[in-house]
Structure 1
Amino acid sequence: MVKIYCYSKCSTCNKALKWLDANGIKYESLDIKEQHPDKDTVKDLNARSGLPLKKFFNTSGKLYREMELSKKLADMTDDEMLDLLASDGMLVKRPLLITDKTVIAGFKEDVWKEALL
């Protein structure tokens, strides 16, 4: 089953859910603010994605900007970044798509199409 971490007030998340519905793809939607992934889950998802851990941060988010993380991430260890991502779902890039084969941070229709269709 496809899982997707979303935030209901995020227009990109809503666009991604509509795309899944339009393509008849069944999924489990998880509220990234209320049900955010814990440290072990983030570590596993990052490993499965093949992406640098920094790509899991919601760089356009209010909290990211308030914490001035663009200035701090370069000096952080992976463990520190994992702790931070696990501390608040609003720091995690969304939507976060999880399938048996892959993990994709963010919504790009062509990438999702390749992974799911």
Structure 2
Amino acid sequence: MNWIILIIAGLFEVAFASCLGKAKETSGSEMYYWFAGFLVTMTISMLLLIKATQTLPIGTAYAVWTGIGAVGTALMGMLFFKDPVTFWRIFFITTLIGSIIGLKAASH
């Protein structure tokens, strides 16, 4: 169950990074809404991370959480923020996903 909580926490990390990206692209009151979304999603992500680390090893949980956030944010950047899509970016995202799976498999 805590692995599921950790994955959800990682997805909220992607959400708060995406809110920062949208806040950078906007101005006025819309920017403040994105910053509010950032604060809400960051808080949820941190609370879920705290919950997950109550039973999972902290090093593994934190690495998986940041890995999910890094992969998700990189993909969001390529899909929605016009970040470049290159062979090497896809290659290293793939190796990061493999590392996350390896950390989960090795945490028994």
Q: What TM-score, normalized to structure 2?
A: 0.26
Higher helix share: 2
Higher strand share: 1
